[in-house]
Amino acid sequence: MTDLSRLDATTARALMRDGRLTPRELTRACLARIAERDGEIRAWLSLNPRAEAEASAIAASDPRPLAGIPVGIKDVIDTVDLPTTHNSPLYSTRRPADDAPCVEILRAAGAIILGKTDTTEFAAAGRNAMTGCPADPSRTSGGSSAGSAAAVADFHVPLALGTQTGGSTIRPASFCGTPAIKPSWGLISTEGVKLYANSLDTVGLYARSFDDLALLGGLYGLPGAGEPPARPTLALCLTPYADELAPEARALMQSLPERLAPVADTEWLQLPAGMEDLDALHRCVQMSEGAAAMRNLPLRGALVHQAFLDRANRSEGHTARQMFEAYDRLADHRRTFETLTAPYDAVIAPAAPGFAPIGRSAGNPKFNALWTAMQLPCIHVPAVSEPLPLGVQLVAARAQDSRLIRLAAQIAPALAFSPPAVTEGKDD
């Protein structure tokens, strides 16, 4: 098998159980793919020098759900055996005392921690990741979970962890073309994950199949019982920010009723007047919580990027009181959204404003931040691969995570069936 690195975890595990694949073979295939590709893609900040030895120590018959499966970990998440630098010169030699619990759970399930992936500094601002989009390395893989998205999409590793505070999991998934979930807030421990904005920060999961997302969801205990109906009803929502969509993203959204017709009923849905402040509320919370999270950074001297000094100094002027009022208003919006969308099995919205831009910017979080602010689960479904990847996200009520993964699996084939006509390309 020459394409071992292309296996998803579910298939790889089945082959291992059948005695047709060993953990060592899979890890070697991933490392070979990285050796071939990462000079150009630059998804990784560090690789585990013991990975092959660790894989060799795992029997193919090991019954653990991730036995021998290589995973990538965004470098803002603590790992006990590899540096965790937050891609910041302030922490370039940092070695955590523990795995973050979200990593410990993977390791206990048998995963091989293959290495740490590149990220926007502190998953926030400052240094960009150096990671290129696998489909066109002159373009960004997005941010902040740049390396995790690219590593999975480019077949370096079947699974990876990212994080999302604005759009840091879903947008890179769209730019790179890979499934991903930003779960409902608060369901996966953020201990040992660099703090940025506490009521927004969420551990995100990357995989190359929805079976694999379901596997990871099971390990983390993501809730959401019940099967979606055979023919789901989906609300299509351009969000209040539709005028920021590039033509390719607009064309993709417009193509959905026809694409989905064989498998689902669709209706257009507009968020009610008053909810257009979601982006501003997100910004207020992110910047205010960020001020607390980054208050210590100015003490660390000359290597602190101005963006973090600005946050610590509340340079955008959001007060703590405004932050608390934003929490309350977001609580209203969450309930409004969940009531409004109760008749639907999910909402489908743009995952990004368009294709990955040229360069190494993180990209515009406008189509992600509103859902993150409401703490809702979001799943990226790839829908376009030519000329570049682009996807949509499924959004649902909080705690519907696992059901939403099943729904995504159900409709994904219809979504990816035929790329939409794109009359005009545009970088945003």
Contacts of 426 (CB under 8 A, 6+ apart): 246, 247, 248, 354, 355
DSSP summary character for residue 123? G
The active-site residue out of 148, 168, 199, 402 is 168
Q: What is the footprint of a second copy within residues 242-271 (CB under 8 A)? A: none
- Is 189 an interacting residue with respect to a second copy (CB under 8 A)? yes
Work out which of 22, 46, 56, 198 binds a second copy, going by CB under 8 A.
198
CA 30 vs CA 17, 243, 368, 400: distances in Å: 19, 41, 31, 33
Which residue stretch of 62-70, 254-262, 271-279, 315-323 sits at the interface with a second copy (rule: CB under 8 A)?
315-323
Nearest residue (CB) to a second copy, 316 versus 428: 316
Read off the amino acid at residue 2: T
Backbone φ, ψ for residue 312 (5° rounding) = -60, -30
Half-sphere exposure of 399 (CA within 13 A, CB side): 3
Residue 70, helix vs strand vs coil: strand
- Is 302 an interacting residue with respect to a second copy (CB under 8 A)? no
Q: What is the footprint of a second copy within residues 379-398 (CB under 8 A)? A: 398
Catalytic residue check, 288: no
Work out which of 18, 40, 191, 267 binds a second copy, going by CB under 8 A.
191
Q: CA 316, CA 190: separation in Å to the nearest integer?
A: 26
Q: CA 82, CA 66: separation in Å to the nearest integer?
A: 20
Work out which of 187, 207, 253, 271 binds a second copy, going by CB under 8 A.
187
- Residue with the two structure tokens 């990741």: 129
Nearest residue (CB) to a second copy, 191 versus 267: 191
Which residue stretch of 9-17, 46-54, 283-291, 406-414 sits at the interface with a second copy (rule: CB under 8 A)?
283-291
Nearest residue (CB) to a second copy, 297 versus 394: 297
Work out which of 2, 19, 97, 243 binds a second copy, going by CB under 8 A.
97
Q: What is the footprint of a second copy within residues 329-358 (CB under 8 A)? A: 331-332, 334-335
Q: How far is the CB of 384 from a second copy (least distance, A)?
A: 33
- Residue with the two structure tokens 């290495």: 115
Q: How far is the CB of 241 from a second copy (least distance, A)?
A: 25
Q: CA 295, CA 390: separation in Å to the nearest integer?
A: 37
- Binding residues with a second copy: total (CB under 8 A): 46
Q: CA 198, CA 293: separation in Å to the nearest integer?
A: 8
Give me the residues paired with residue 44 across strands: 117
Nearest residue (CB) to a second copy, 93 versus 423: 93
Q: Which has the closest alpha carbon to 146: 204, 225, 230, 231?
A: 204
Q: Which has the closest alpha carbon to 391: 201, 202, 181, 204?
A: 181
Q: How far is the CB of 164 from a second copy (least distance, A)?
A: 15
- Is 108 an interacting residue with respect to a second copy (CB under 8 A)? yes
Nearest residue (CB) to a second copy, 331 versus 358: 331
Catalytic residue check, 56: no
Q: Which has the closest alpha carbon to 370: 253, 283, 245?
A: 283
Work out which of 30, 69, 105, 253 binds a second copy, going by CB under 8 A.
105
- Residue with the two structure tokens 């879903």: 170
- Is 161 an interacting residue with respect to a second copy (CB under 8 A)? no
- Is 309 an interacting residue with respect to a second copy (CB under 8 A)? no
Work out which of 48, 199, 209, 368 binds a second copy, going by CB under 8 A.
199
Nearest residue (CB) to a second copy, 241 versus 327: 327
- Is 95 an interacting residue with respect to a second copy (CB under 8 A)? yes
Nearest residue (CB) to a second copy, 6 versus 64: 64
Contacts of 266 (CB under 8 A, 6+ apart): 233, 234, 235, 236, 256, 257, 260, 348
Diameter of the chain measured on Cα atoms: 61
Peptide bond into 96 cis (omega under 30): no
Are 331 and 337 contacting, i.e. CB atoms less than 8 angstroms apart? no
Work out which of 33, 74, 116, 194 binds a second copy, going by CB under 8 A.
194
Q: CA 122, CA 418: separation in Å to the nearest integer?
A: 37
Q: Rg of the chain over CA atoms, in angstroms?
A: 20
Q: How far is the CB of 133 from a second copy (least distance, A)?
A: 31
Catalytic residue check, 116: no
- Is 375 an interacting residue with respect to a second copy (CB under 8 A)? yes
Four-residue CA torsion sign, 61, 63, 65, 66: negative
- Is 144 an interacting residue with respect to a second copy (CB under 8 A)? no
Active site residues: 74, 144, 168
Residues making contact with a second copy (CB under 8 A)? 91, 94-98, 101, 104-105, 108, 184, 186-191, 194-195, 198-199, 220-221, 223, 288-289, 291-293, 295-296, 299, 319-321, 323-324, 327-328, 331-332, 334-335, 375, 398-399
